[in-house]
Amino acid sequence: MGRSGLGAARRSVALSAKGFMPEDEGDALHSAALTAVGDAPMLEVGSYCGRSTVWLGDAAEQTGRLLYAVDHHRGSEENQAGWEHHDTEVVDQRVGKLDTLPFFRATIHDAGLEDTVVAMVGRSPLLGAAWTTPLSFLFIDGGHGDEPARLDYELWTPHVAPGGTLAIHDVFPDPADGGRPPYEQIYLPAIESGRFVETGVTGSLRILQRVS
């Protein structure tokens, strides 16, 4: 059976989920995940409410792989009160903190991906420091501050298997277009390391392949 793009039902679930992944970038992410080399699992850093996870989970299902979705579900810096991307609907009023996990679980349930997507609830540096499994596909869309982005690069990219794929979201070479950390702390170090080469660009999404 041939591999195909995201179906209408799952596309509807993805687009109705809270999140920041444009449809064209989601489709490019899906295509890159479908064609990623190797049978090793896939991993997403930064799932929020599961919007991008649907595209990736569908690709994982089609290729017989698992997708690990890493997020502490308390929101990144830019999601907190007083910041541009704050959403009061995802605040747990009992504790006064963001909690996107119920939204994420609903999205994955509605997309029919509970047998493919494995939620890993915790802070990326803690999980990354303990991770040992090679990855066929890594998508980094976590905290957009300098330190979170740097740690995501340092802790997760070494696990991309040779020939595997690294995808990075919110890469803005021009400072006028958006925040700098994903560009300065993840994209540039990956390219300058000589271990990755760029193979695709869609909006702020960059697709790289590990070559050494």
Using one digit for the tens of pLDDT, what is the confidence trace for 108-163? Answer: 999 999 999 999 999 999 999 999 999 999 999 999 999 999 999 999 999 999 99
pLDDT at 77: 72
169 catalytic residue (yes or no): no
pLDDT at 18 over 80: yes
**Contact between residue 142 and residue 46 where contact means Cβ atoms under 8 Å apart:** yes
Q: Which CATH class is domain 8-210?
A: alpha beta
Averaged confidence pLDDT in the chain: 95
Using one digit for the tens of pLDDT, what is the confidence trace for 65-117? Answer: 999 999 999 987 776 676 566 778 899 899 988 999 999 999 999 999 999 99
CA distance 24 to 30: 10
Among 51, 52, 56, which residue's Cα sits nearest to residue 16?
Answer: 51
Q: Which of 73, 144, 159, 169 is catalytic?
A: 144
CA max distance for the chain:
49
- Domain boundaries in the chain? 8-210
Among 184, 187, 211, which residue's Cα sits nearest to residue 201?
Answer: 187
Global pTM? Answer: 0.94
Strands (DSSP E) along 24-116, which ranges?
42-45, 67-71, 91-92, 97-98
